[in-house]
Structure 1
Amino acid sequence: MHQRSPAVRAGILEAAARVILREGAEHFTISRVAREAGLSVGGLRYHFASKHDLLVGLVDHAVAGFDAALAAAGDAPGSRTRAYIDATLSDTGSRELAAALVATVAVDSRLLAVLRAHFARWQAMLDDDGIDDTTAVLVRLAMDGWWLAAFVDLAPPRGRAATELRTRLNALVTEATGD
């Protein structure tokens, strides 16, 4: 009998992201994820009753890093917008988030509403970050495009260019705070 624990659940979700990253959303199946996680299909279904439940869990798991980063950012003007930049460019989670987003759209389009709700909530947090709304939207859209470009390898910025772009985006936020 499997134990329902956060660690096992997280392992399944990480395996699901790896399957999507390696094989593509068209090959995303419960049996492949179970095999990747080292579980039987029944063991996986103990944690996620359906493919839909697994995808919802993957989205929730993937966005948890963004939620935590924004929650920990504090209330200083621009702090959440800077946290959004940092969370997007972090090596931990950005590919997983992209995989979750691609999977939800490609595998189960009903989950687009879940994603829309997360993005609307994040944008509302950035709009309430003590900077002008235009800068908050500009930074979010730039970061969303950046991780998508990195995920599908559409000539994403690297090296010096990435460093300079990150510096410029942070400077926009600083300018918007009046500091």
Structure 2
Amino acid sequence: MSSTDLARVLAKPTLYRGVVAILFALVGIFYVQGTPAVALSLSLGLWMLLTALFMWPVARLAGLPSAMRTGVTGAVLAWAVAGVAALFLRDPAGLAVMGAFGLGLGGLCELIPGIKHRVIGRPTRDMIISGGIGVLGAIILVWVALGMGNKIDVHSIFGTLAMIVALLGAHLIIAGLGYRHDAREAAGAA
């Protein structure tokens, strides 16, 4: 699969992922102290599940290198598991763990195939960026949660997640718009 074909196929899922991430970040940014943990639980669960839903068709593409397919499938499964678990958790520490699990494992599953297949072109290099943001975001989230000790609260976990996801969402929207532009340019040249 060429870089142009991969960009054409990834345009919509990447844009959708970016929009959902920005919506999650907006909810997290405007989250007020004292709102129940169910807000974080539902927001985190929906964000992870929608991310998995949008990327699932990519995992089933014919012509995708097997290491890339395995990576995307692993990321989809990590996001789905974290999303389902987050829907049932109400403890800030548990939600921080699920957020870190989804970001970290999903990011690692994007990062490794992106590095292996970076010669394919921009889509794989964008996987390196989004995977790196996920892994670093998981580390930051764990660091913040551990630093709070027994005083861990939903507001700080939600705020930390919102900032990480805002960065990820901005990257994904820019990448998705770039893929769409490349696909239109290639269609015009054909």
Whether the TM-score (by the shorter chain) exceeds 0.5 is: no
Give the structure-1-normalised TM-score: 0.36
Which structure has greater helix proportion?
A: 2
Give the greater-gyration-radius structure (CA). 1
